[in-house]
Amino acid sequence: MKKLLFYIPWLLVVAVGPVTLLRNAPPVSFLSSNQIVLITFLQRGAGLLAFSLLFSQIMLGAYMHKLIDKFGAWVFKFHTTEGAFTYSLIFLHPLLFLFLNFKSLGKFDPFYVFTDVCVLCRNTTELFYNFGRISFWLVTVALLAALLRTQPWLRNHWRKFHIFNYFAFLLIAVHARGVGTDARFVPFVWFYWTSITIVVFTIFYKFLYPRVSKLFLSNQKPEEAK
């Protein structure tokens, strides 16, 4: 019963992307006859699912101790397994964009897709692509920190890098809104704004609120001493 209470919300989060994609999918005949449309369709699916799973990863990581107390230690194993699958989708999304450019423009340029970060971008589309590139590398660093967390030189500091997932999620949200179409469609648009609100609240609750409270208490003590 406890696992059911865990899996039902998780399945709803995971399902919102595919449901939106299928509601706005081109005809099957068009998908099967046009490789560019098919690649675009798969890229959209990978992006939507990656967004949902990254949100799930952030929630699991942020409230891991509470979730383990509630559901059991298996939640941590689920978190690590889901993390590997999430990163696979995050990597697949730009990889499909690479193939899309090759099929539509005839150029195979992985440096443009993965590393061509611009400071003064040519246009707004490139700016939103830029957010996607930066978020990809932030997630990569966060993943490497988690994988290497048992190393002596990283054991005490890996969480400082792992929280890059929060910034990556917000950048991905901007990227999705700027160059994606599905972030504007029901039901994903509902989940889109809800997830952003929850992540922003979690950032405040986990990182800002404890520091603000500590600062407030430290300022209050001298006043009480007077």
Domain layout of the chain by residue ranges: 2-225
Q: Is the pLDDT of residue 120 over 70?
A: yes
Give Cβ neighbours of residue 14 (< 8 Å, ≥ 6 apart): 49, 52, 53, 56
Q: What is the CA radius of gyration of the chain?
A: 20
Q: Are 51 and 93 in contact (CB under 8 A)?
A: no
219 or 88, higher pLDDT = 88
The pLDDT value given to residue 19: 96
Is residue 46 pLDDT above 60, yes or no?
A: yes
Q: What percent of the chain has pLDDT over 90?
A: 74
Cβ partners under 8 Å of residue 86, min gap 6:
50, 53, 54, 56, 57
Rounded Cα–Cα distance for residues 57 and 78 (Å): 10
Could you tell me the pTM of the whole model? 0.91
Q: Span 55-78, mean pLDDT?
A: 95
pLDDT in tens, 136-179: 999 999 999 999 988 988 888 888 898 999 999 999 999 999 99
